[in-house]
Amino acid sequence: MTQPSSVIQSWLDKRHNLFIGGQWRPAASGQTLDVYNPATAEVISRVPAGDATDIDAAVAAAREAFNSWRRSRPSQREKLLLDLADALEDRADDFALLETLDNGKPVTFSRQMDMNLAIDFIRYTAGWATKIEGRSMTPSMPFVPDDKQIVAYTRREPVGVVGAIIPWNFPLLMAVWKVAPALAAGCSIILKPAEDTPLSALLLAELAEQVGLPAGTFNVVTGLGHTAGAALAGHPGINKVAFTGSTPVGKLIGHAAMENMTRTTLELGGKSPVMVLADADIEAAAAGAAQAIFFNQGQVCTAGSRIYVHETIHDIFVAKLADQARGLTLAPGWETTSTLGPLVSAKQQRRVLDYIDQARSDGGTIITGGGKGIETGYFVEPTVISGLAQGSRCVQEEIFGPVVVVQTFRELDELVELANDSPYGLAASIWSNDLSAVNRLVPEIEAGSVWVNGHNLLDASMPFGGFKQSGIGRELSDCPIEHYTEQKSVVMIV
Ligand code: ADP
């Protein structure tokens, strides 16, 4: 086992504080939360248990900072974000290991995926700071005398103080998906990381301080969802709440925000179908489907957790998918050979194992997996289940673990019906080179992202978000600029 580097070990051991208004301070209550290593179930660090009092302080600091930050030069904001990306790149190995110790994910993936995606996204978003535009119009306004001119245009202004509440599956990446666009648009932000994975947010705050982000523009309050999170979502002093997490919590946050007419974007759960058509390259589809569900231990909102395979290729496809699952190396994330780490918490492990038991009692066949695999820590084996009815819980509900259900279809119309038979609509993938079939399916599938011959094909330049109960609003691309700004119409008679 590789031990954390001494730099990371001493960072874990230190007394952590909240980052509010450019100051590091303990929670007002003095309380702390234990942080666990999911591969060993041991406590590796402690963070402050912030609550409503700390959220009040953070909102006040962010409001004060906003008053000058909103007037800052766009090029200054761009430069600071680029500096933040460089600082993150310099510390990428430390961050990757921290993410692995906190979340459990294999360190090769946290370095290659989480870190690189976070750095790229900050750089991409930095560029938007200087490209926020309005439009000019030529209104008719018959009540304005002919000898007067009408000058009309729109401007985009930062929405204000943002509250960001994020989940534990990609702690750093989800943080920068919110922090970078908010800062680029001229907003100040309070980040409430998930209680299971609060560490990388605190290290990110150290970098923000190091690169010279003005005090109060970026604040971090660690704490529990029902205390710190709820206080932030319902705070009358914030102007926007940006949330990624489960659909039930998203609904709570949406209701709380609506009380104050706080703008919201909600990126929620999914049950994304993987559709394997009769002509598919079976080898590639099985490998892709395995990646779609097992990447990040299946703790991905876009995880390809339902497979619909044409009945003529079902048996061979399932055999190859099971081979892929068995080929994964279940091991603590810091071992470089690990391709599947533990789940994030004991709670999550219990939840996933309960779903597998449910599948058994619903008559499903466990083709491979089904157990913990490793007794210490929160592991669950990669699990492939077939033979379940469309209405069963494992087909309908988000499991958020390395568990996939495989079903068959015969006709494309039936496939569309099955794929859309879900409360969710986040993503979908189609495996085929039959262009007419693919292009018939794409407009019919109710999902915010549709990928062909790939899965999780996310990029900073492509809008991302859900149909139906998978959320409201889009992240990535230029979409956040819309969500982190208000539009003002200006008309002059001169
Ligand atoms: P879970 O941890 O049960 O999987 P989520 O993934 O939805 O729940 O949690 C995502 C984020 O939402 C976390 O940061 C969590 O602290 C926060 N959260 C949980 N409950 C609430 C709540 N009632 N109000 C605001 N935030 C919450």
Positions marked active-site: 267, 301
> What is the pLDDT, as a whole number, of residue 116?
98
Mean pLDDT within 4-23:
94
Q: Please name the residue whose Cα sits nearest to atom 19 of ligand 1.
A: 225
- Name the residue ranges covered by the structural domains of the chain: 6-268+472-493, 273-460
Q: Measured in angstroms, how far is the CA atom of residue 175 from the centroid of ligand 1? A: 14
> What is the pLDDT, as a whole number, of residue 6?
82
pLDDT tens readout for residues 193-231? 999 999 999 999 999 999 999 999 999 999 999 999 999
Q: Measured in angstroms, how far is the CA atom of residue 45 from the centroid of ligand 1? A: 20
Q: Measured in angstroms, how far is the CA atom of residue 282 from the centroid of ligand 1? A: 38
**CA 298, CA 405: separation in Å to the nearest integer?**
12
**CA 106, CA 9: separation in Å to the nearest integer?**
18
> What is the pLDDT, as a whole number, of residue 467?
98
Long-range own/partner contacts, residues 472-477 (CB < 8 A, 24 or more apart): 472/254, 472/264, 472/265, 472/266, 473/264, 473/265, 473/266, 473/267, 474/265, 474/448, 475/177, 475/181, 475/265, 475/267, 476/121, 476/177
Q: Measured in angstroms, how far is the CA atom of residue 230 from the centroid of ligand 1? A: 9
Q: Please name the residue whose Cα sits nearest to atom 1 of ligand 1.
A: 246
> What is the pLDDT, as a whole number, of residue 1?
45
The band of 43, judged by pLDDT with boundaries at 50, 70 and 90, is very high
Q: Which atom of ligand 1 is nearest to the CA of 233?
A: 25
**CA 488, CA 316: separation in Å to the nearest integer?**
58
Q: Which atom of ligand 1 is nearest to the CA of 223?
A: 16
pLDDT tens readout for residues 377-430? 999 999 999 999 999 999 999 999 999 999 999 999 999 999 999 999 999 999
pLDDT tens readout for residues 445-483? 999 999 999 999 999 999 999 999 999 999 999 999 999
Q: Which atom of ligand 1 is nearest to the CA of 244?
A: 10
The band of 2, judged by pLDDT with boundaries at 50, 70 and 90, is low
pLDDT tens readout for residues 433-446? 999 999 999 999 99
Q: Which atom of ligand 1 is nearest to the CA of 165?
A: 14
Burial, 71: exposed, middle or buried (Cβ in 10 Å; 0-12, 13-18, 19+)?
exposed
The band of 4, judged by pLDDT with boundaries at 50, 70 and 90, is confident
Q: Measured in angstroms, how far is the CA atom of residue 167 from the centroid of ligand 1? A: 7
The residue whose CB lies within 8 Å of the most ligand 1 atoms, and thus the one to mutate among 200, 249, 255, is 249
**What CATH number is given for 273-460 in this structure?**
3.40.309.10
Mean pLDDT of the chain: 97
Q: Measured in angstroms, how far is the CA atom of residue 245 from the centroid of ligand 1? A: 6
Half-sphere exposure of 424 (CA within 13 A, CB side): 27
Six-digit token string for 67? 């008053």
Mean pLDDT within 143-160:
98
Whether pLDDT at 173 is above 60: yes
Q: Please name the residue whose Cα sits nearest to atom 27 of ligand 1.
A: 225
Q: Measured in angstroms, how far is the CA atom of residue 257 from the centroid of ligand 1? A: 15
Q: Measured in angstroms, how far is the CA atom of residue 253 from the centroid of ligand 1? A: 9
Q: Please name the residue whose Cα sits nearest to atom 26 of ligand 1.
A: 229
Question: HEC profile for the chain?
Answer: CCCCCHHHHHHHHCCCCEEECCEEECCCCCCEEEEEECCCCEEEEEEECECHHHHHHHHHHHHHHHHHHCCCCHHHHHHHHHHHHHHHHHCHHHHHHHHHHHHCCCHHHHHHHHHHHHHHHHHHHHHHHHHCCCCEECCCCCCCCCCCCEEEEEEEEECCEEEEECCCCCHHHHHHHHHHHHHHHCCEEEEECCCCCCHHHHHHHHHHHHHCCCCCCEEECCECHHHHHHHHHCCCCCCEEEEECCHHHHHHHHHHHHHCCCEEEEECCCCCEEEECCCCCHHHHHHHHHHHHHHHHHCCCCCCCEEEEEHHHHHHHHHHHHHHHHCCCECCCCCCCCCECCCCCHHHHHHHHHHHHHHHHCCCEEEECCCCCCCCCCCCCCEEEECCCCCCHHHHCCCCCCEEEEEEECCHHHHHHHHHCCCEECEEEEECCCHHHHHHHHHHCCCCEEEECCCCCCCCCCCECCEECCEECCECCCHHHHHCEEEEEEEEEC
**CA 207, CA 191: separation in Å to the nearest integer?**
15
Q: Measured in angstroms, how far is the CA atom of residue 229 from the centroid of ligand 1? A: 7
- Do 273-460 and 6-268+472-493 fall under one CATH topology? no
Whether pLDDT at 179 is above 80: yes
Q: Please name the residue whose Cα sits nearest to atom 15 of ligand 1.
A: 225
Best CA proximity match to 379, nearest among 335, 413, 321, 429? 335
**What CATH number is given for 6-268+472-493 in this structure?**
3.40.605.10
Q: Which atom of ligand 1 is nearest to the CA of 250?
A: 7
Q: Please name the residue whose Cα sits nearest to atom 21 of ligand 1.
A: 225
Sign of CA dihedral 12, 14, 16, 20: negative
Mean pLDDT within 276-302:
98
**CA 222, CA 228: separation in Å to the nearest integer?**
7
Q: Which atom of ligand 1 is nearest to the CA of 224?
A: 16
Whether pLDDT at 5 is above 90: no
Q: Please name the residue whose Cα sits nearest to atom 13 of ligand 1.
A: 194
The residue whose CB lies within 8 Å of the most ligand 1 atoms, and thus the one to mutate among 47, 102, 165, is 165
**CA 148, CA 493: separation in Å to the nearest integer?**
6
Whether pLDDT at 148 is above 90: yes
Q: Which atom of ligand 1 is nearest to the CA of 345?
A: 2
Pocket residues: Cβ below 6 A from ligand 1: 165-167, 192, 194-195, 225-226, 229-230, 233, 245-246, 249, 252-253
Mean pLDDT within 231-260:
98
Are the beta carbons of 326 and 360 closer than 8 angstroms?
Answer: no
Whether pLDDT at 3 is above 70: no
